[in-house]
Amino acid sequence: MEQQNELPIKIVLDTWYGNVSRADALFNTLTDEQLQGEVSPGRNTGTYLLGHLTAVHDRMLPLLGFGAQKYPQLDEVFITSPDKSGKTMPPIADLRAYWKDTNETLATHFKAMQPGEWLNKHTSVSEEDFAKEPHRNRLNVLISRANHLSGHYGQLLFLKK
């Protein structure tokens, strides 16, 4: 039974790692100049999406109970504000480094977890609500963020020649 229970969790984790890995590969092939382009006319730039994805992943640290965000300064530029808000973005080289570090930090925490811990509540749900809605757990956060990454990955592909 415990064996069975681990399988769905492994599948979600594999999806997460797979999505991060293909996004990594894409960011690595895109030049800084390509990243500064819009994914479609009038839409987000690659730079904004890189910062946005990094900030969203960084916020998973407190959400999953792993501690404070490492790059909270990104929130205002890449989550609270839309692209072209006039807010100053960090240099692209820094954003690339934050992206890599954030995903590595998450992976380190994930690898230290027992499968069953994925079914514990995340920090944005109260004990009371969690008792009634046990699917509001860490695994739910992981699959939701993996999906979020897929959506933006599909857009970022348009920056390729």
Interface residues with a copy of itself (CB under 8 A) are 1-2, 4-5, 7-12, 14-15, 19, 39-41, 43, 116, 118-119, 134-135, 137, 139-140, 143-144, 146-148, 150-155, 158
What residue ranges in 4-159 does DSSP mark as E strands? Answer: none
Dihedral sign (CA 117, 119, 123, 128): negative
| Between 70 and 79, CB nearer to a copy of itself | 79
| DSSP code, position 126 | -
- Cβ closer to a copy of itself: 55 or 71? 55
Residue closer to a copy of itself by CB (options 69, 103) is 103
Q: What letters, b where the CB count within 10 A reaches 16 and e where it falls short, cover 70-92?
A: ebeebbebbeeeebeeeeebbeb
Q: Looking at beta carbons only, is 13 or 74 nearer to a copy of itself?
A: 13
Closest approach of Cβ 127 to a copy of itself, in Å? 17
Q: In the complex with a copy of itself, which residue's Cβ is closer, 70 or 119?
A: 119
CA 97 to chain centre: 14
What minimum distance in Å lies between the beta carbon of 19 and a copy of itself?
Answer: 7
Least separation in angstroms between residue 46's CB and a copy of itself is 12
Instruction: Determine the Cα angle at 154 with ends 8 and 97, to 5°.
Output: 85
Shortest Å, Cβ 28 to a copy of itself: 19
DSSP annotation of 38 reads B
Are the C-beta atoms of residues 107 and 61 closer than 8 Å to each other?
no
Write down the least CB distance from residue 34 to a copy of itself, Å: 14
